[in-house]
Amino acid sequence: MEWKADRGLQFRMLLTMFLLAGLYIVFIAALSLYSGRLWLIAMAFGLFSLGQFFFSDKITLWSMGAREVSEEEYPRLHATVQRLSQQADIPKPKIAVVDSRNPNAFATGRSQKHAAVAVTTGIMNTLSDEELEGVLAHELAHIKNRDVMVMTIASFLSTIAFLVVRWGAWFGGGRNRNNGGVFVAIGVSLVVWILSYLLIRALSRYREFAADRGGAIITGKPAALASALQTISGEMHKVPKEDIREQAEMNAFFIIPISGSAITKLFSTHPSTEKRIERLMQMEREMGRF
């Protein structure tokens, strides 16, 4: 099966990004009603986010307690990633390991040349070689699709809108306290933040489907990734609570998010495991394996 876009999925992603762009135009217009002080805060946050973007691989690995490992330490893992990277036609990323019983994996980095793939000791001890290949291919598909860059850009103004809502009344006070435009801007920012939050979560779910598809094309074995997702999902209830608390903030990076409440699932960054498996098995049938 050739590496090509799922047109329906591609359309939904483009529509979501178009709606986000429209929201952000409204947001920028509203923000223009603020005092210069708030613009300075937004600019400072922008510079901080730019630095975070350029060092995203190092920051994410550090926050997860991931350690970059050498080929001598994990020869089979390096060999597998090297082979899959060649099949995906991307540079081999850095490889890191997280000492955690949580069976998961993630990719990070601003570009294909500045990327890293990390796996937990839990996932290496849980999955078969074929299943682990499927997971690694999924993460390499994220890198090939430049998903970290896309999601960072999509989230940038949404985060500023959240800061405006949180701090706008305070910074818009003082001599501008009677300026009704300030409070209009805060109200618009609140609406922008809520709607963009939902749209970004939808975009994230679409890109997970795309990474599943890409990973299955890299290996040529959709059923192996489907089996890995099923295995990981079945093991999640065994993850110690302390690991869940420590890693819950990184859900968006994982191949399967740590389970949460019904509200958490409603606004999840990932589609349901059942839907992902269903799509992968459809790919398996299309490839003539059944």
Instruction: List the catalytic residues.
Output: 139
Q: Closest by alpha carbon to 144, among 105, 108, 107, 90?
A: 90
Q: Crossing angle for the helix pair 75-88 and 180-219, nearest 10 degrees?
A: 100
Pairing of strands 114-120, 105-111: antiparallel
Q: Crossing angle for the helix pair 75-88 and 129-144, nearest 10 degrees?
A: 50
The rounded distance, in Å, linking the Cα atoms of 38 and 172 is: 8
**CA 226 from centroid of its chain's CA atoms:** 19
The rounded distance, in Å, linking the Cα atoms of 58 and 135 is: 21
Q: Closest by alpha carbon to 46, among 164, 200, 153, 156?
A: 156
Q: How would you class 34 by CB atoms within 10 Å of its CB: exposed for 0-12, middle for 13-18, buried for 19 or more?
A: buried
